[in-house]
Structure 1
């Protein structure tokens, strides 16, 4: 059964993953990547433009399908070896979250909506996935 996920990362970091065809979540932890399966969908939400920056983004910035069945370590620089998983990203338009807040069921408290993203990786219902990707792609891709 297909599952639908959101990963949280700065737009700057998401862009690196999209260019490289991989996902890296929760500061490089393997467990969030292991929760996903080939055929699952991943949407990235970017609270900020840059990891260390203060400029807000508050948009969904990428969407892709899990294609790699392995979670693998990748040495970015000595002493930092995060885990990655291969993703087939689609060309998508950055989509602001604020116009969608009232319709997203995974956001329970609309006045504290950012709280939903605190763990950096979460599963969402199919209806929320379809709402978000329709904004990003202009249509909902075929999915299970």
Structure 2
């Protein structure tokens, strides 16, 4: 008998405007990373947890937000393309977001995260757009967002 596959935890990076669009989509929640690239989404599986970190409110603006804005569980077997118009056809994954989660600033958590090697230079990993974190770090994010992920499973 094989052991059940354990979920992985991810932090995705996008402006709050873009992350909220995926969270609040009337057709169901979704995620995109790296301006719609496929490769990062291939690493993610149904049942994985994802939290979106937003450095800014709007893409290309210097309005520092530095907050986690959505958190949920990935659904569906594979990434898929979605036509957003004007020739933009990004890759997506379906996500069930925790509807009662609150947006939470990152700064109070920096010194508690295992993935942060140097609290004075904590932003380095976020440049990748998507990276994996351990259960401890994801738990800190979920607690700060007052998010309940039970019941959102695949």
Normalised by the size of structure 2, how large is the TM-score? 0.88
Query: Which one has a larger percent helix, Structure 1 or Structure 2?
Result: 1
The Cα offsets for residues 60-103 of structure 1, whole Å up to 9 and x where unpaired, read as 11001001212111111232111011000012111111110000
1:61 partnered with 2:69: yes
Aligned pairs for 1:37-56 within 5 A: 37-56=45-64
- Is the 2:98–2:148 contact (alpha carbons within 8 Å) kept by the matching residues of 1? no
Number of equivalences: 143
Q: Distance in 2 between matches of 1:37 and 1:26?
A: 17
User: Which residue, 143, 146, 149 being the options, matches 1:134?
Assistant: 143
Matched ranges for 1:1-144 at <5 A = 1-20=6-25, 21-91=29-99, 92-137=101-146, 141=150
Larger radius of gyration: 2
Give the Cα–Cα distance (whole angstroms) in 1 for the partners of residues 149 and 108 of structure 2.
18
Q: Secondary structure at 2:122's aligned position in 1?
A: helix
**TM-align CA RMSD:** 1.5
Report deviation, 1:34. 1.2
TM-score by length of 1: 0.93
5+ residue gaps in structure 2? 1-5
In structure 1, distance between residues paired with 2:85 and 2:149: 38
SS at match of 1:118: helix
Structure 1: gaps (5+ residues):
none
